Structure 1
Amino acid sequence: MVSLADVRAHNATLKSLAPNLVAIFVGGTSGISHYTALEFARNTRSPHIYLVGRNQTAAANITAELKSINSSSTVEFIKKDVSLLRQVDEACKEIKGKEKKVNLLFMTVGYLTLKGRNETEEGLDHKFALNYYARARFMHNLAPLLDAAAKDDDSKATLSRVFSVYDPALGKNRDFNFSDPSLKENFSVRNCATHGSALGNFAMEHLAKQWPNTSFIHEMPGIVETRAGGSLWLKALYTVLSPFSVDKKESGERHLFAATAPRYAPRAKADSVEGVVDGADGIKGSGHYHLSWNGETQASTKRADKMRAEGAEAKLWTHTTEVFRKICEEGGKY
């Protein structure tokens, strides 16, 4: 476990980075993205923060909060329903029109539901689209800008990281149905969680090789109260679990640490970083990392190793690009 004292000591050093770091928080109008954005603003110089979400009122409140913490920060809200991949493309196009680099892509978008399959107009389950496909599309679209940040001429501004908050363990401890990756025929809440996790794991494994100057992190955040807990039964659950939960500010601090700490180095730079940790595939500094809420790495499992040996990385990314092609390039439905 990374101690909170060590987390805070590291975060306090971030002002030594060059100013004007660019961070994008997808799902940034609530919960963990909100808490992390606050700490990002608090600990960096003149940051440029993008909040991507649907809630204009929440975004206005958070923007004011961020500006009160750091008056030199620039905050922009991009209103999009990112359960639709074509709207993800619109958000990315807007960012690309304004920025030449992105230092941090931080994604928490999703929601809690026990309902069955609920297809969007693009043919994907709504929950599944948020848990995986939208995140994968953001990573795919913004990878060149993240790579540009990694190659910045100013050596102090080489932060380049993708951070997805979900749960990597689900995808490497349960069986994956390769014949039905998008769960058209075999949808359940459990299967959706498993597939979203596994697809996220192997997408990051693939992208860490394709873009070796960027780190990719998939993290299980622990129990943190979010706006998703608005229903009465979830509020009651949070009350019961409160002794085991992570405080909102601590969650933001820990996520900022994991999103910036050198120990989770990109593949291309790992050899030069002291204390770099093992990647999700068991290889030190492989550039893609599975983390627990407290910053500790999660080891690979026999099931994950078996999937890897069966070519899961290539198979699942091929499926992902097929979804992208049908929806985003052809303008159709998957």
Structure 2
Amino acid sequence: MAFRALVVGGTNGIGYAMACRVAAEASTSNSNSNNNNSSPSAVIISGRTKPTNIPHANMEFRRLDATSMHQIKQYTDTFKSGLQDKPDQKLDLLIMTQGIMNTAGRTETPEGVDRKMALHYYGKQLLIRELMPALKEDAKVVVVFDSVYGRPSKLDWNDLDLKKHFSLSKAANHCMVMNDVMVQFYAAQQQQQQQQTTSTTATPNRRHFVHAWPGAVDTNLFTELPWYLQPVLRLAALLLAVSPDTCAERLLNGLADCSTAGNKDGRFWSHMDNKGHLVANKTIWSEDQMKKVADHTWAIVDGAIAQGSS
């Protein structure tokens, strides 16, 4: 069965590098396969702007504004409708790297969600929720943001979307921590569903959910920062940052290692650092805490979908 992947944010930077690497490996694997009846491998990249160069024949572009919950819902509905009666075209890999770097304060989308939080957290979680039926039983799901520096003690449980107490540092921390929570939530939900399944013929889901930190990467994200900060960041990038290709290699190799080790231990979530290593000593969230974050998340995204469709 051919390998299929979707990379949202895959039109530039880290996402583009990951998509190109996955496409090259999938193409090689498919050409070496003896099964001529399987569907060809495919890597779908999505973002606002089509890249000028799509280097592999098994890559395709589908436009998506990932700041809009309404557009994400339309996108995922269309995606799922194309899979009807085509189980061999479900996804092996879902990667989400969409992001932004600027110094603006709370800047709401027309749906009432802060643009940074929409990209870094809410849109990613909506994509996972809606595309769950489009994932193969052993698929891997990767949220690329920051799995290392989130501070659970600084999470404002009474203002999770920061409508009242927004700041750049709080927004970053909330997105880090809530992404941490949600990868554990999906894994726990999967295990609960497996325990409730009585059918002995059903194939158990072994999907692995990962929150990954890319570290310092030389991308174009800083172009949205004030002009006077850009020379400093360019110099820092030259001294400290790795290339998107290096980052992609580390994260994809680490994904394979972390998911294999986790699945052997019966743990279907991982927090991964910029070298592809498992982050140790992460907070283990309680069922009540995970439910509170999930309920908040669905209230925000479903409200935004309704707002966007009105």
| TM-score normalised to structure 2 length | 0.82
Contact 2:258 2:270 in 1 (8 A): no
Q: CA deviation at 1:309?
A: 4.7
Q: Which amino acid aligns with 1:119?
A: E
Structure 2 gap ranges (5+): 31-39, 192-205
Q: Which amino acid aligns with 1:243?
A: L
Q: How many residues align?
A: 275
RMSD: 2.2
1:111 match: 100
Per-residue displacement from partner, 1:66-123 (whole Å, max 9, x unpaired)? 23xxxxx1x3222121111011111112221223411111011010011100011111
> 1:43 aligned to 2:19?
no
2:149 match: 170
Structure 1 CA distance, aligned partners of 2:231 and 2:293?
A: 36
Q: CA deviation at 1:300?
A: 2.9
2:202 match: none
Per-residue displacement from partner, 1:206-248 (whole Å, max 9, x unpaired)? 1112235211111111111112133653354132342322233
1:314 match: 291
1:14 match: none
Contact 2:142 2:209 in 1 (8 A): yes
> 1:254 aligned to 2:233?
no
1:215 match: 208
Structure 2 CA distance, aligned partners of 1:247 and 1:82?
A: 24
Residues 1-334 of structure 1: pairs in structure 2 closer than 5 A:
18-19=1-2, 21-44=3-26, 45=30, 46-56=40-50, 58=51, 61-63=52-54, 65-67=55-57, 73=58, 75-99=59-83, 100=87, 101-146=90-135, 149-150=136-137, 158=138, 160-172=139-151, 174-212=153-191, 213-230=206-223, 233-234=229-230, 236-259=232-255, 261-265=256-260, 270-271=263-264, 284-301=265-282, 304-305=283-284, 308-309=285-286, 311-328=288-305, 330-331=306-307
Structure 2 CA distance for partners of 1:80 and 1:321, relative to 1, 3 Å: same
1:162 match: secondary structure? strand
Structure 1 CA distance, aligned partners of 2:63 and 2:269?
A: 29
Structure 2 CA distance for partners of 1:215 and 1:309, relative to 1, 3 Å: closer
1:62 match: secondary structure? coil
Contact 1:208 1:216 in 2 (8 A): yes
Q: Which amino acid aligns with 2:290?
A: E
Structure 2 CA distance, aligned partners of 1:323 and 1:39?
A: 34
Structure 1 gap ranges (5+): 1-17, 68-72, 151-157, 272-283
Structure 2 CA distance for partners of 1:47 and 1:186, relative to 1, 3 Å: same
Per-residue displacement from partner, 1:123-146 (whole Å, max 9, x unpaired)? 110111101000000000011221
1:13 match: none
Please, which moves more after superposition, 107-116 or 95-104? 95-104
Contact 2:162 2:171 in 1 (8 A): yes
Contact 1:92 1:142 in 2 (8 A): yes
Structure 1 CA distance, aligned partners of 2:235 and 2:302?
A: 44
Structure 2 CA distance, aligned partners of 1:90 and 1:202?
A: 26
1:66 match: secondary structure? coil
Percent identity over the alignment? 26
